[in-house]
A = this chain, B = another copy of it.
Amino acid sequence: MADKIEAYVEANKERFIEELKELMRIPSVSAQREHDSDTQACAEWLVAHFQALGLEARLVDKGGKPIVRAQAKGKSSRRVVIYGHYDVQPEDPADQWKTPPFEPTIRDGILYGRGSTDDKGQSFAHIKAVESLLKTEGELPCEVIFLLEGEEECGGEALSRYVREAREELKPDAVIISDSTMYDENTPAITYGLRGILTSEFTVKGPDQDVHSGAYGGAIANPAMVLAQILSACVDPDGKILVPHFYDDVAPLEKWESESIEKLGFDDQAFVGELNVPHPHGEAGHCTLERIWTRPTFEINGIFGGYTAGGSKTIVPASATAKISIRLVPHQDPERIRDLIVEHLRSVCPDTVRLEIADFATSPPVLFDVNDPTFQAAQEALRRGFGSDPVFIRCGGSIPVVSTFVEQLGCPVILMGLGLDSDAPHGPNEHFSLESFIRGTKASVHLLRTI
Protein backbone atom coordinates (compact mmCIF):
# COMPACT_ATOMS: atom_id res chain seq x y z
CA MET A 1 0.00 0.00 0.00
CA ALA A 2 2.80 2.41 0.97
CA ASP A 3 4.40 1.72 -2.41
CA LYS A 4 1.22 2.76 -4.19
CA ILE A 5 1.24 6.05 -2.29
CA GLU A 6 4.92 6.66 -3.03
CA ALA A 7 4.11 5.98 -6.69
CA TYR A 8 1.37 8.61 -6.56
CA VAL A 9 3.89 11.11 -5.18
CA GLU A 10 6.33 10.29 -7.99
CA ALA A 11 3.63 10.49 -10.67
CA ASN A 12 2.42 13.89 -9.49
CA LYS A 13 5.58 15.59 -8.32
CA GLU A 14 5.87 18.01 -11.25
CA ARG A 15 2.39 19.31 -10.50
CA PHE A 16 3.21 19.51 -6.76
CA ILE A 17 6.18 21.74 -7.63
CA GLU A 18 4.11 23.97 -9.91
CA GLU A 19 1.55 24.41 -7.12
CA LEU A 20 4.31 25.29 -4.65
CA LYS A 21 5.64 27.91 -7.07
CA GLU A 22 2.16 29.40 -7.32
CA LEU A 23 2.04 29.65 -3.51
CA MET A 24 5.50 31.25 -3.40
CA ARG A 25 4.53 33.94 -5.88
CA ILE A 26 2.33 35.55 -3.22
CA PRO A 27 4.64 37.94 -1.27
CA SER A 28 3.22 37.24 2.18
CA VAL A 29 5.74 39.35 4.14
CA SER A 30 4.18 39.61 7.59
CA ALA A 31 6.63 42.20 9.00
CA GLN A 32 5.72 44.81 6.38
CA ARG A 33 2.33 46.49 6.43
CA GLU A 34 2.40 47.15 2.69
CA HIS A 35 2.18 43.36 2.23
CA ASP A 36 -0.87 42.88 4.47
CA SER A 37 -3.17 42.23 1.52
CA ASP A 38 -0.69 39.71 0.08
CA THR A 39 -0.54 37.89 3.39
CA GLN A 40 -4.35 37.72 3.40
CA ALA A 41 -4.38 36.51 -0.22
CA CYS A 42 -1.88 33.78 0.63
CA ALA A 43 -4.07 32.51 3.48
CA GLU A 44 -7.09 32.47 1.16
CA TRP A 45 -5.13 30.59 -1.51
CA LEU A 46 -4.35 27.88 1.06
CA VAL A 47 -7.96 27.57 2.21
CA ALA A 48 -9.10 27.14 -1.39
CA HIS A 49 -6.34 24.57 -1.97
CA PHE A 50 -7.32 22.52 1.09
CA GLN A 51 -11.00 22.66 0.12
CA ALA A 52 -10.16 21.40 -3.36
CA LEU A 53 -8.40 18.45 -1.72
CA GLY A 54 -11.57 17.70 0.26
CA LEU A 55 -10.52 19.04 3.65
CA GLU A 56 -12.75 21.20 5.78
CA ALA A 57 -10.83 24.49 5.67
CA ARG A 58 -11.32 28.02 6.93
CA LEU A 59 -9.55 31.13 8.19
CA VAL A 60 -9.42 31.64 11.93
CA ASP A 61 -9.25 35.26 13.06
CA LYS A 62 -7.56 35.79 16.39
CA GLY A 63 -6.30 39.28 15.66
CA GLY A 64 -3.21 39.84 13.50
CA LYS A 65 -2.86 37.70 10.40
CA PRO A 66 -5.41 34.91 9.86
CA ILE A 67 -4.65 31.30 10.72
CA VAL A 68 -5.36 28.72 8.03
CA ARG A 69 -7.11 25.75 9.66
CA ALA A 70 -7.84 22.61 7.63
CA GLN A 71 -9.13 19.32 8.96
CA ALA A 72 -9.84 15.81 7.71
CA LYS A 73 -11.05 12.77 9.68
CA GLY A 74 -9.04 9.56 9.67
CA LYS A 75 -9.48 5.79 9.95
CA SER A 76 -8.22 5.75 13.52
CA SER A 77 -9.20 8.06 16.32
CA ARG A 78 -5.63 9.30 16.66
CA ARG A 79 -5.21 12.94 15.80
CA VAL A 80 -2.22 14.86 14.52
CA VAL A 81 -1.76 18.61 14.28
CA ILE A 82 0.53 19.70 11.44
CA TYR A 83 1.92 23.16 11.99
CA GLY A 84 3.55 25.46 9.45
CA HIS A 85 3.65 29.12 8.51
CA TYR A 86 2.74 30.78 5.24
CA ASP A 87 4.32 34.15 6.01
CA VAL A 88 7.84 34.90 4.83
CA GLN A 89 10.77 37.20 5.62
CA PRO A 90 11.19 40.54 3.82
CA GLU A 91 13.06 40.30 0.51
CA ASP A 92 15.71 42.73 1.78
CA PRO A 93 18.50 43.10 0.56
CA ALA A 94 16.57 43.16 -2.71
CA ASP A 95 19.57 43.86 -4.94
CA GLN A 96 21.38 40.67 -3.96
CA TRP A 97 18.84 38.25 -5.43
CA LYS A 98 19.97 36.55 -8.63
CA THR A 99 16.36 35.89 -9.63
CA PRO A 100 13.38 37.82 -8.22
CA PRO A 101 12.41 36.72 -4.67
CA PHE A 102 8.77 36.25 -5.59
CA GLU A 103 9.28 34.61 -8.98
CA PRO A 104 10.25 31.02 -8.05
CA THR A 105 12.99 29.69 -10.30
CA ILE A 106 14.48 26.20 -10.57
CA ARG A 107 18.20 25.79 -11.18
CA ASP A 108 19.86 22.36 -10.95
CA GLY A 109 16.99 20.78 -9.03
CA ILE A 110 16.94 23.61 -6.48
CA LEU A 111 13.93 25.90 -6.11
CA TYR A 112 14.91 29.54 -5.50
CA GLY A 113 12.57 32.14 -4.02
CA ARG A 114 11.41 33.67 -0.76
CA GLY A 115 9.53 31.07 1.31
CA SER A 116 10.95 28.11 -0.63
CA THR A 117 12.43 26.53 2.50
CA ASP A 118 11.04 28.85 5.21
CA ASP A 119 8.36 27.62 5.34
CA LYS A 120 6.08 27.31 2.32
CA GLY A 121 8.06 24.46 0.74
CA GLN A 122 8.45 22.47 3.95
CA SER A 123 4.78 22.88 4.94
CA PHE A 124 3.59 22.05 1.44
CA ALA A 125 5.27 18.61 1.64
CA HIS A 126 2.75 17.65 4.33
CA ILE A 127 -0.16 19.04 2.33
CA LYS A 128 0.92 16.91 -0.64
CA ALA A 129 1.35 13.87 1.69
CA VAL A 130 -2.24 14.29 2.82
CA GLU A 131 -3.36 14.63 -0.82
CA SER A 132 -1.44 11.46 -1.73
CA LEU A 133 -3.02 9.49 1.11
CA LEU A 134 -6.52 10.72 0.27
CA LYS A 135 -6.22 10.09 -3.47
CA THR A 136 -4.81 6.57 -3.08
CA GLU A 137 -6.55 5.31 0.06
CA GLY A 138 -9.71 7.42 0.01
CA GLU A 139 -9.23 8.46 3.62
CA LEU A 140 -6.46 9.38 6.03
CA PRO A 141 -4.96 6.85 8.45
CA CYS A 142 -5.42 9.33 11.31
CA GLU A 143 -7.23 12.60 11.76
CA VAL A 144 -5.18 15.59 10.60
CA ILE A 145 -5.57 19.25 11.53
CA PHE A 146 -3.38 21.72 9.68
CA LEU A 147 -2.64 24.97 11.48
CA LEU A 148 -0.72 27.33 9.21
CA GLU A 149 -0.02 30.72 10.75
CA GLY A 150 0.87 34.04 9.14
CA GLU A 151 2.90 35.66 11.92
CA GLU A 152 5.91 33.42 12.48
CA GLU A 153 8.34 35.95 11.02
CA CYS A 154 6.96 38.95 12.89
CA GLY A 155 6.45 37.57 16.38
CA GLY A 156 2.64 37.66 16.24
CA GLU A 157 0.48 36.11 18.92
CA ALA A 158 -2.61 34.96 16.98
CA LEU A 159 -1.70 31.27 16.79
CA SER A 160 -0.67 30.98 20.42
CA ARG A 161 -3.92 32.69 21.41
CA TYR A 162 -5.85 30.20 19.28
CA VAL A 163 -3.98 27.16 20.62
CA ARG A 164 -4.59 28.34 24.17
CA GLU A 165 -8.33 28.82 23.49
CA ALA A 166 -8.81 25.67 21.39
CA ARG A 167 -6.62 23.32 23.43
CA GLU A 168 -9.55 21.05 24.40
CA GLU A 169 -10.90 20.89 20.86
CA LEU A 170 -7.45 20.25 19.35
CA LYS A 171 -6.06 17.74 21.87
CA PRO A 172 -3.74 15.93 19.44
CA ASP A 173 -1.62 12.83 20.00
CA ALA A 174 1.30 14.59 18.34
CA VAL A 175 2.26 17.81 16.60
CA ILE A 176 4.34 17.62 13.41
CA ILE A 177 6.41 20.57 12.26
CA SER A 178 8.75 20.96 9.32
CA ASP A 179 10.35 24.36 9.77
CA SER A 180 13.91 23.40 10.56
CA THR A 181 16.74 21.51 8.91
CA MET A 182 18.16 18.11 8.11
CA TYR A 183 21.65 17.48 9.45
CA ASP A 184 23.03 17.60 5.93
CA GLU A 185 21.66 16.94 2.46
CA ASN A 186 21.91 13.17 2.89
CA THR A 187 21.06 12.89 6.58
CA PRO A 188 17.50 13.56 7.70
CA ALA A 189 17.14 14.62 11.30
CA ILE A 190 14.72 15.09 14.13
CA THR A 191 15.30 18.21 16.15
CA TYR A 192 14.86 17.73 19.88
CA GLY A 193 15.96 21.20 21.02
CA LEU A 194 15.41 24.77 19.87
CA ARG A 195 16.93 27.99 21.07
CA GLY A 196 14.50 30.59 22.35
CA ILE A 197 14.65 34.18 21.23
CA LEU A 198 14.23 37.77 22.34
CA THR A 199 14.06 40.48 19.69
CA SER A 200 14.03 44.20 20.26
CA GLU A 201 15.67 47.40 19.16
CA PHE A 202 17.07 50.34 21.03
CA THR A 203 17.89 53.87 19.99
CA VAL A 204 20.45 56.28 21.37
CA LYS A 205 19.17 59.83 20.97
CA GLY A 206 21.32 62.94 20.94
CA PRO A 207 20.45 66.31 19.42
CA ASP A 208 16.95 66.82 18.02
CA GLN A 209 18.38 66.72 14.52
CA ASP A 210 21.65 65.92 12.78
CA VAL A 211 24.12 68.72 13.47
CA HIS A 212 27.38 69.85 11.82
CA SER A 213 30.28 67.80 13.14
CA GLY A 214 32.58 70.80 12.84
CA ALA A 215 30.35 73.12 14.82
CA TYR A 216 29.39 70.62 17.53
CA GLY A 217 31.72 67.62 17.29
CA GLY A 218 33.72 67.06 20.45
CA ALA A 219 31.32 68.91 22.74
CA ILE A 220 28.27 66.63 22.63
CA ALA A 221 28.04 62.86 22.68
CA ASN A 222 27.86 61.21 19.26
CA PRO A 223 24.84 58.86 19.43
CA ALA A 224 26.39 56.39 16.97
CA MET A 225 29.57 56.23 19.04
CA VAL A 226 27.58 55.78 22.25
CA LEU A 227 25.61 53.01 20.52
CA ALA A 228 28.88 51.30 19.58
CA GLN A 229 30.15 51.64 23.13
CA ILE A 230 26.92 50.22 24.59
CA LEU A 231 27.02 47.25 22.20
CA SER A 232 30.67 46.62 23.05
CA ALA A 233 29.66 46.55 26.69
CA CYS A 234 27.17 43.75 25.88
CA VAL A 235 29.47 41.27 24.11
CA ASP A 236 33.22 40.89 24.48
CA PRO A 237 35.46 40.29 21.45
CA ASP A 238 35.36 36.50 22.10
CA GLY A 239 31.57 36.40 21.89
CA LYS A 240 30.97 36.12 25.63
CA ILE A 241 27.90 38.06 26.70
CA LEU A 242 28.73 40.65 29.35
CA VAL A 243 25.21 41.16 30.75
CA PRO A 244 25.49 40.27 34.47
CA HIS A 245 23.80 36.96 35.42
CA PHE A 246 23.07 36.20 31.76
CA TYR A 247 24.47 32.65 31.96
CA ASP A 248 23.10 31.80 35.42
CA ASP A 249 20.45 29.33 34.20
CA VAL A 250 22.17 27.82 31.15
CA ALA A 251 21.92 24.01 31.44
CA PRO A 252 25.19 22.13 30.81
CA LEU A 253 25.06 19.51 28.05
CA GLU A 254 24.28 15.90 28.91
CA LYS A 255 27.03 13.40 28.19
CA TRP A 256 25.19 11.69 25.30
CA GLU A 257 24.65 15.07 23.64
CA SER A 258 28.34 16.00 23.71
CA GLU A 259 29.20 12.56 22.38
CA SER A 260 26.57 12.73 19.67
CA ILE A 261 27.80 16.16 18.55
CA GLU A 262 31.37 14.91 18.45
CA LYS A 263 30.32 11.85 16.39
CA LEU A 264 28.76 14.11 13.75
CA GLY A 265 32.28 15.21 12.83
CA PHE A 266 31.25 18.73 11.88
CA ASP A 267 33.63 20.29 9.36
CA ASP A 268 34.59 23.81 10.45
CA GLN A 269 36.59 24.48 7.31
CA ALA A 270 33.67 23.61 5.03
CA PHE A 271 31.43 25.73 7.24
CA VAL A 272 33.50 28.91 6.96
CA GLY A 273 34.32 28.17 3.33
CA GLU A 274 30.63 28.01 2.40
CA LEU A 275 29.99 31.38 4.07
CA ASN A 276 33.29 32.86 2.88
CA VAL A 277 34.25 34.04 6.34
CA PRO A 278 37.95 33.84 7.27
CA HIS A 279 37.57 31.90 10.55
CA PRO A 280 34.91 30.55 12.90
CA HIS A 281 34.24 32.77 15.90
CA GLY A 282 32.53 32.20 19.21
CA GLU A 283 32.65 31.39 22.87
CA ALA A 284 35.89 29.79 24.02
CA GLY A 285 35.62 26.15 25.09
CA HIS A 286 32.75 25.28 22.74
CA CYS A 287 32.84 23.76 19.25
CA THR A 288 30.87 25.23 16.35
CA LEU A 289 27.80 22.99 16.71
CA GLU A 290 27.70 23.64 20.45
CA ARG A 291 27.90 27.38 19.80
CA ILE A 292 24.99 27.21 17.37
CA TRP A 293 22.78 24.65 19.08
CA THR A 294 23.49 24.92 22.79
CA ARG A 295 24.90 28.35 23.61
CA PRO A 296 23.03 31.66 23.87
CA THR A 297 23.96 34.65 21.67
CA PHE A 298 23.54 38.42 21.53
CA GLU A 299 23.37 39.43 17.86
CA ILE A 300 23.01 42.74 16.08
CA ASN A 301 20.55 42.15 13.21
CA GLY A 302 20.74 45.68 11.93
CA ILE A 303 22.38 48.96 12.85
CA PHE A 304 21.72 52.43 11.48
CA GLY A 305 22.08 56.10 12.22
CA GLY A 306 23.14 59.35 10.58
CA TYR A 307 24.11 59.67 6.95
CA THR A 308 24.11 56.38 5.04
CA ALA A 309 23.90 57.42 1.37
CA GLY A 310 26.81 58.02 -1.02
CA GLY A 311 29.79 60.24 -0.29
CA SER A 312 30.39 61.87 3.05
CA LYS A 313 28.29 64.14 5.24
CA THR A 314 30.02 65.68 8.20
CA ILE A 315 27.36 65.46 10.87
CA VAL A 316 26.84 64.28 14.40
CA PRO A 317 23.76 62.06 13.93
CA ALA A 318 20.61 62.83 15.90
CA SER A 319 20.26 59.17 16.79
CA ALA A 320 21.50 55.66 16.15
CA THR A 321 19.60 52.38 16.45
CA ALA A 322 20.50 48.73 16.87
CA LYS A 323 18.09 45.91 16.12
CA ILE A 324 19.09 43.00 18.32
CA SER A 325 18.15 39.37 18.84
CA ILE A 326 19.20 37.25 21.78
CA ARG A 327 19.09 33.46 21.35
CA LEU A 328 18.29 31.57 24.54
CA VAL A 329 19.03 27.99 25.53
CA PRO A 330 17.48 25.68 28.14
CA HIS A 331 16.77 26.75 30.85
CA GLN A 332 16.96 30.51 30.38
CA ASP A 333 13.72 32.35 31.11
CA PRO A 334 12.94 35.00 28.45
CA GLU A 335 11.36 37.44 30.90
CA ARG A 336 14.28 37.26 33.30
CA ILE A 337 16.81 37.69 30.48
CA ARG A 338 14.83 40.61 29.06
CA ASP A 339 14.93 42.34 32.46
CA LEU A 340 18.67 41.70 32.79
CA ILE A 341 19.31 43.16 29.34
CA VAL A 342 17.18 46.25 29.89
CA GLU A 343 18.90 46.85 33.24
CA HIS A 344 22.33 46.39 31.66
CA LEU A 345 21.62 48.69 28.70
CA ARG A 346 20.43 51.40 31.07
CA SER A 347 23.40 50.95 33.38
CA VAL A 348 26.03 51.25 30.62
CA CYS A 349 24.35 54.15 28.78
CA PRO A 350 25.85 57.53 29.72
CA ASP A 351 23.66 60.46 30.81
CA THR A 352 24.77 62.57 27.84
CA VAL A 353 22.17 60.89 25.60
CA ARG A 354 18.68 59.46 25.92
CA LEU A 355 18.09 55.73 25.51
CA GLU A 356 14.84 54.34 24.11
CA ILE A 357 14.30 50.59 24.29
CA ALA A 358 11.45 49.03 22.29
CA ASP A 359 9.28 46.21 23.59
CA PHE A 360 10.76 42.73 23.40
CA ALA A 361 9.18 39.84 21.49
CA THR A 362 10.02 36.64 23.34
CA SER A 363 9.92 32.91 22.83
CA PRO A 364 11.34 30.41 25.33
CA PRO A 365 13.84 27.65 24.47
CA VAL A 366 12.53 24.08 24.05
CA LEU A 367 14.04 20.65 24.80
CA PHE A 368 12.29 17.33 24.04
CA ASP A 369 12.79 13.82 25.43
CA VAL A 370 14.11 11.77 22.52
CA ASN A 371 13.05 8.52 24.27
CA ASP A 372 9.37 9.17 23.59
CA PRO A 373 7.91 6.42 21.27
CA THR A 374 6.53 9.03 18.86
CA PHE A 375 10.12 10.08 18.17
CA GLN A 376 10.89 6.46 17.23
CA ALA A 377 8.00 6.40 14.71
CA ALA A 378 9.24 9.65 13.25
CA GLN A 379 12.77 8.32 12.97
CA GLU A 380 11.48 5.27 11.04
CA ALA A 381 9.32 7.42 8.72
CA LEU A 382 12.29 9.59 7.83
CA ARG A 383 14.43 6.50 7.21
CA ARG A 384 11.84 5.22 4.71
CA GLY A 385 11.14 8.56 3.03
CA PHE A 386 14.78 9.46 2.61
CA GLY A 387 16.34 6.01 2.37
CA SER A 388 19.00 6.85 4.98
CA ASP A 389 19.44 6.91 8.77
CA PRO A 390 18.22 10.03 10.55
CA VAL A 391 20.00 11.65 13.52
CA PHE A 392 18.83 13.58 16.56
CA ILE A 393 20.04 17.16 16.49
CA ARG A 394 19.33 20.49 18.06
CA CYS A 395 18.67 23.67 16.12
CA GLY A 396 20.02 27.13 16.71
CA GLY A 397 16.83 28.72 15.43
CA SER A 398 13.61 29.43 17.26
CA ILE A 399 10.04 28.42 16.46
CA PRO A 400 8.04 30.59 18.81
CA VAL A 401 4.91 28.44 18.66
CA VAL A 402 6.61 25.20 19.70
CA SER A 403 6.75 26.14 23.37
CA THR A 404 3.05 27.00 23.18
CA PHE A 405 2.31 23.51 21.84
CA VAL A 406 4.45 22.00 24.59
CA GLU A 407 2.72 24.02 27.30
CA GLN A 408 -0.86 23.86 26.02
CA LEU A 409 -1.19 20.51 24.31
CA GLY A 410 1.15 18.36 26.40
CA CYS A 411 1.95 15.99 23.54
CA PRO A 412 5.16 15.15 21.68
CA VAL A 413 6.19 17.68 19.05
CA ILE A 414 8.07 16.18 16.11
CA LEU A 415 10.36 18.64 14.40
CA MET A 416 11.29 16.95 11.15
CA GLY A 417 13.17 19.59 9.22
CA LEU A 418 13.44 19.23 5.45
CA GLY A 419 15.65 22.26 4.82
CA LEU A 420 19.33 22.99 5.20
CA ASP A 421 21.06 25.84 7.02
CA SER A 422 22.67 26.71 3.71
CA ASP A 423 19.22 27.31 2.15
CA ALA A 424 19.63 31.02 3.11
CA PRO A 425 16.18 31.05 4.73
CA HIS A 426 16.31 34.72 5.85
CA GLY A 427 18.76 35.98 3.23
CA PRO A 428 18.78 36.67 -0.48
CA ASN A 429 18.51 33.67 -2.85
CA GLU A 430 16.61 31.54 -0.34
CA HIS A 431 16.25 28.05 -1.80
CA PHE A 432 15.02 24.51 -1.18
CA SER A 433 16.03 21.16 -2.63
CA LEU A 434 13.20 19.67 -4.68
CA GLU A 435 14.53 16.19 -3.86
CA SER A 436 14.08 16.95 -0.14
CA PHE A 437 10.61 18.27 -0.93
CA ILE A 438 9.60 14.96 -2.54
CA ARG A 439 11.40 12.75 0.00
CA GLY A 440 9.83 14.82 2.77
CA THR A 441 6.40 14.29 1.23
CA LYS A 442 7.00 10.54 1.31
CA ALA A 443 8.31 10.64 4.89
CA SER A 444 5.17 12.52 5.92
CA VAL A 445 3.05 9.80 4.29
CA HIS A 446 4.87 7.13 6.34
CA LEU A 447 4.67 9.12 9.55
CA LEU A 448 0.91 9.70 9.24
CA ARG A 449 0.47 5.95 8.66
CA THR A 450 2.45 4.92 11.75
CA ILE A 451 2.17 7.67 14.33
Residues of A within 8 A of B (CB): 31-33, 89-90, 92-93, 96, 154-155, 181, 195, 197, 199-201, 206-222, 224-225, 227-229, 231-232, 235, 237, 239, 271-272, 275-283, 288, 291-292, 295-317, 320-323, 325, 327, 350-354, 361, 395-398, 421, 424-429
Contact = CB atoms under 8 A, between A and B. Distances in A.
A311 B35 CA distance: 13
B421 A32 contact: no
Given A228-B227, A277-B206, A306-B302, A217 B396 contact: yes
Q: How many copies does the complex hold?
A: 2
The 6 closest A-B pairs by CB, nearest first: A214-B397, A31-B311, A302-B306, A224-B300, A228-B231, A232-B232
A257 to B, nearest CB: 16
A292 B32 CA distance: 42
Contacts of A201: 312
A352 B280 contact: yes
Given A92-B307, A278-B352, A302-B305, 16 more contacts: A181-B215, A212-B424, A214-B327, A218-B297, A219-B292, A220-B275, A224-B301, A227-B228, A227-B303, A229-B232, A280-B352, A281-B352, A301-B312, A301-B314, A302-B313, A302-B317
A218 to B, nearest CB: 4
A281 to B, nearest CB: 4
Contact of A323 (B211, B279, B312): B312
Given A297-B213, A425-B212, A277 B199 contact: no
A220 B281 contact: yes
Contact of A232 (B228, B280, B303): B228
Given A216-B275, A308-B304, A426-B211, A281 B227 contact: no
A210 B300 CA distance: 12
B90 A276 contact: no
A104 to B, nearest CB: 19
A106 B325 CA distance: 46
Contacts of A154: 311-312
A221 B281 contact: yes
A171 B353 CA distance: 49
A427 B224 contact: no
A426 B314 contact: yes
19 contacts: A32-B309, A90-B307, A90-B309, A92-B307, A92-B313, A201-B312, A211-B275, A212-B397, A213-B325, A215-B421, A220-B275, A220-B282, A225-B231, A237-B350, A300-B317, A303-B317, A307-B323, A313-B323, A313-B426
